[in-house]
Chain A
Amino acid sequence: MRLLSRKATCNSHGQDSSYFLGWQEYEKRPYDAVRNPTGIIQMGLAENQLSFDLLESWLAANPDAASFRRDGESIFRELALFQDYHGLPAFKKTLAEFMSEIRGNKVSFDPTNLVLTAGATSANETLIFCLAEAGEAFLLPTPYYPGFDRDLKWRTGAEIVPIECHSSNGFKITQAALDDAYESARKRNLRVKGVLITNPSNPLGTTMTKEELNLLLNFVNAKDIHLISDEIYSGTVFKAPGFISVMEVLHDKKLENTDVWNRVHIVYSLSKDLGLPGFRVGAIYSNNDTVVAAATKMSSFGLVSSQTQYLLSALLSDKNFTKNYIKENQKRLRRGHEMLVNGLRNVGIECLQSNAGLFCWVDMRHLMRSNTFEGEMEIWKKILYDVGLNISAGGSCHCSEPGWFRVCFANITEDTLNLSMQRLKNFVISLNSSSSQSHHQRMNNSRRRSLTKWVLRLSFNDRAPEER
């Protein structure tokens, strides 16, 4: 008899991909301006580290939130005991208001329709548990966040069928792609329960257009399936066009109290907008009472620490702070984005035009020796081992076309960003140099060696911080 479960011995957790290998390499020799200036620069981590000073100054000015006090009175005991899966009412209220504020107050959220979970990781898994049986499928536009393979499939037993998007139209979702995906699921005998989108997109960094959202709503309506919109990056939209939430479209089309209203669910988190991934704050928002009720009970398996709920309810209730934070944070993101785009352009590398997120979707197809995923991996490894930048290969995001990479800019300082551009410049120059013939020969040999090493490493791979 097998000692452990199948889940424990399969690799549906998805950690054998290059995405996590890059992590490992980085951990071995991380860049530090003083202690390790030739180390690997982490550009595979979609974290927002640009606005901590704003949070820190708020904390300095609001000591009560820190020390379990409200109006000078200690509420430690009440917080320590508070494990109600309905969540701290004050926190849900302010979270709903914050979500509204991010959407320019064009939609309002009812706190009783919010379910708190330990991060968006848990929110997405919980929603799938509620909406699909093991063996049923969700359609996801590619490229998508690599962690979805674990979050949506691993313990739920659900399947993901890709909606293939292409660079020919800026990776937008089309009717044809939706129909193809649905048909593909049917051929595999998979019952489709819904579509899951990330809007703004990870890894593209683009917001969905109204047309795409309309397309999706019509599609899920026609097929009588669900739509999950992961809006974790909604507060990172830093330039036009603005963010349109699926909720807004539902309102505009006056679809309240129709069938589809009950089948649209939003996932949110404070990990990207506020840069607080360590606090594990995720949320599900649904107008479907049954889903809210079931998800609430399931949230028992991953509630948000009451200590954290309290701190954040105080933070988010300060409307001056939230208004200023959202604005300033977006300004800084725009700047970081510009720096990266310009820096890459200077070495002849273009990015997909984007207006959100903590990263760019970078086109390195012209640098590949062959238009294949092997060619993509070749570049990726060179960039990792020789250039010393950990970026994410499009293949690990299930992109259908090789040669695209996600490069993050919001987790490093401007100096580090400049340095990374400098290193890349040198790399591109060396690639184009006429001594490339023997250079390629050498690269082939070292590539073969590192490929072997890589394969061996994969088997013992066990480190993976959370990331999106």
Chain B
Amino acid sequence: MANLSKLATNDGHGENSPYFDGWKAYDENPYHPINNPNGVIQMGLAENQLSFDLIQEWIQKNPKASICTKEGIFSFKDIAIFQDYHGLPEFRHAMVKFMGQVRGDRVTFDPNRIVMGGGATGASEILMFCLADPGDAFLVPSPSYPAFDRDLRWRTRLQLIPVPCSSANDFQLEREALEEAYKKAQQANIRVKGLILANPSNPLGTLMSKDALTTLVSFINEKNIHLVCDEIYSATIFHQPEFVSISEVIQDPNVVCNKDLIHIIYSLSKDMGLPGFRVGIVYSYNDAVVACARKMSSFGLVSSQTQHLLALMLSDKEFVARYLEENAKRLAKRHMLFTKGLEEVGISCLRSNAGLFVWMDLRRLLSEPTLEGEMKLWRIIINDVKLNVSPGSSFHCCEPGWFRVCFANMDDHTMEVALQRIQSFVDQKNESLVKSEVLVIKDNKRRQKSLCLNFTASRLDESVNMSTRVMSPHSPLASLANGSNQDLNRTHQGLK
């Protein structure tokens, strides 16, 4: 066969990793309340499916926003030919309005710094192409979004250097860890060009405090390296404390910073739940980066039809305010339901107030506190419990036993089913832990009858009964249109 490039044949896309097994398990056996109630429930997909009704209602009330309706068709021609990589001015203005509103109007963004990218995926890659050369490195606090490996490295040929965070301090990023990682890179002759992180964090769902961000800024300023903040989850905060954007930090007169080093990545895929529309944004405080990124955006412009729709939607301040408030409420409710349900069986999650997922602590369920132990547990969860969750190692977490579990991509009933499965699984695990202890005792005291045995037997019976009960669905789902639109529902975007 004729030669293809290394890119075409290497594993840089990351899809040959074992983590895709979870995806495959789901694809082959997807849960459906009626057609496949024993199928795998998708909890590995960080999508926001809770607030579509609000957007749909807006679209219905605003037919002008579509260039194809009779109210909007007069714009069809101008929009259809508009391919200027500056983007529709009204789109850029609406984006800055929206981004400002999300930050409580504590910041004003400049529409001339808005550059489009093909989703945050495309936007991140564009930034890397602008900031670094092949072989250069970016520091990435871990645990981190798995697809950074592909988005930031694959075609750009950059290196990523993880800066590990641990549960000892709730996975907060420490300056010492940054200094350590930076020093090691220097010693290995690797040129560090910057630091990239998601804030709010994926997979943690936590926010960086203003102090933490200020420390970060001081670090990158001192080393003269770039800081890229992926704020894709900025409107998924559902509890105090409030979100502090990097944009707020650098406008503080007390914070010393070379603004040419600061860049933001944004997207509407999580906050508005519109991943299909491919709206990625690069926002840079560096003029040369804006100019370069804008030229590169040719490779992934947002469809003008979509720009037009969003220009109208996002500049509707009243709608946006209502949406942000209601969306946060629904996320809060879902988060609470899920975490409380987990607490009932003694499972705790990292305390979080943002994102579409929880960072679940299953360390005590590991057969051994190792990567193998984690993978073993993970396969059981996928194959036996039938939940596709994401193991911490896929996020480069250095401590085994943590799992990211998404809660906003399903309806209430499915959430309940998932919870019940987890609860039942944990109970069973507790049983077998006790059971194995009992067997040891039995071994040691062979001829002695023990009350424990009788106890155990009845508890085992209970668990069997419970599992039968749990597996049958309660009622058919009225809200989902899944059945008739299966061909739309396949996703192969990897862990998000």
Interfacial residues, chain A to chain B (CB-CB below 8 A): 1, 3-9, 13, 15, 47, 49, 52, 55-56, 59-60, 63, 65-68, 73-86, 88-90, 118-119, 121-122, 125, 129-134, 150-151, 154-155, 193, 224-226, 259, 262-263, 271, 275-280, 288, 290-291, 294-295, 297-298, 300-308, 311, 462-467
Contact = CB atoms under 8 A, between A and B. Distances in A.
21 contacts: A4-B288, A4-B289, A7-B130, A8-B289, A8-B292, A52-B80, A66-B69, A81-B49, A81-B491, A84-B493, A133-B5, A276-B81, A278-B81, A278-B305, A279-B80, A294-B4, A294-B13, A303-B118, A303-B119, A306-B276, A311-B68
Contacts of A276: 80-81
B82 A67 contact: no
Contact of B303 (A3, A6, A304, A462): A304
B489 interface: yes
Given A306-B278, A466-B301, 8 more contacts: A8-B130, A15-B295, A131-B4, A259-B2, A277-B80, A297-B13, A298-B155, A305-B305
Contacts of B49: 77, 81
Interface in B269-312: 269, 273-278, 286, 288-289, 291-292, 294-296, 298-306, 309
Residue among A118, A130, A150, A306 with max Cβ neighbours from chain B (10 Å): A118
A124 B37 CA distance: 44
Interface string B462-496: 00000000000000000001001101111111000
Nearest to A465: B84
A67 B76 contact: no
A291 B8 contact: yes
B306 A80 contact: no
Nearest to B309: A307
Contact of A294 (B7, B70, B286, B301): B7
Residue among A66, A85, A304, A467 with max Cβ neighbours from chain B (10 Å): A66
A465 B481 contact: no
A3 B136 CA distance: 12
A45 to B, nearest CB: 9
Contact of A78 (B55, B122, B481): B481
Nearest to B268: A80
A8 B299 CA distance: 15
Contacts of B424: none
B3 interface: yes
A122 B121 CA distance: 14
Nearest to A82: B276
Interface in B214-273: 224, 226, 260-261, 269, 273
Contacts of B490: 84, 86
Contacts of B489: 78, 81-82
B305 A311 contact: yes
B373 interface: no
Contacts of B56: 68, 74, 76-77
B477 to A, nearest CB: 13
B8 A130 contact: yes
A74 to B, nearest CB: 6
Nearest to A132: B5
A78 B488 contact: yes
B278 A303 contact: yes
B84 A129 contact: no
A308 B306 contact: yes
A62 B299 CA distance: 31
Residue among B63, B301, B302 with max Cβ neighbours from chain A (10 Å): B301
B402 interface: no
Contact of B305 (A49, A132, A279, A295): A279
A168 to B, nearest CB: 33
Nearest to A306: B276
B32 interface: no
A119 B303 CA distance: 10
A89 B485 CA distance: 11
Contacts of A15: 295
Contacts of B286: 4
A305 B487 contact: no
Nearest to A77: B52
Contacts, number: 280
A68 B63 CA distance: 11
B268 to A, nearest CB: 10
B121 A80 contact: no
B133 interface: yes
Contacts of B324: none
Given A52-B80, A66-B66, A279-B305, A85 B276 contact: no
Interface residues of B, number: 91
Contact of B59 (A6, A8, A68): A68
A84 B151 CA distance: 16
A295 B492 CA distance: 14
A457 B372 CA distance: 62
Given A67-B59, A76-B56, A77-B49, A59 B73 contact: yes
Contacts of B274: 80
B432 interface: no
A73 B484 CA distance: 11
B201 to A, nearest CB: 22
A298 B121 CA distance: 10
B374 interface: no
Please list the 3 inter-chain residue pairs (A to B) with the smallest Cβ-Cβ separation, ordered nearest first.
Answer: A66-B68, A278-B304, A306-B276
Contacts of B118: 118, 122, 300-303
Contacts of B4: 130-131, 290-291, 294
Nearest to B226: A3
Given A78-B488, A305-B276, A155 B296 contact: yes
Contacts of A77: 49, 52, 56, 481
B415 to A, nearest CB: 17
Contacts of B70: 60, 63
Nearest to B308: A278
Interface in B1-43: 1-9, 13, 15
Contacts of B13: 294, 297-298
Contacts of B299: 118, 121-122, 125, 155, 301-302
A96 B259 CA distance: 48
A244 B266 CA distance: 44
B6 A133 contact: yes
A131 B305 contact: no
A83 B275 contact: yes
Contacts of A131: 3-5, 8
A203 to B, nearest CB: 18
B83 interface: yes
Given A82-B276, A85-B493, A76 B59 contact: yes
B81 to A, nearest CB: 6
Nearest to A14: B295
A100 to B, nearest CB: 21
B190 interface: no
B278 A83 contact: yes
Given A73-B481, A83-B278, A300 B59 contact: no
A55 B80 contact: yes
B429 to A, nearest CB: 33
Nearest to B300: A302
B298 A4 contact: no
Interface in B40-81: 47, 49, 52, 55-56, 59-60, 63, 66-70, 72-73, 76-77, 79-81
Contacts of A465: 83-86
Contacts of B125: 301
Residue among A15, A80, A85, A121 with max Cβ neighbours from chain B (10 Å): A80
A55 B76 contact: yes
A83 B493 contact: yes
Contacts of B481: 73, 75, 77-78
B191 interface: yes
B493 A300 contact: yes
Contacts of A76: 52, 55-56, 59
Given A77-B481, A278-B303, A8 B131 contact: yes
A8 B288 contact: yes
A466 B85 contact: yes
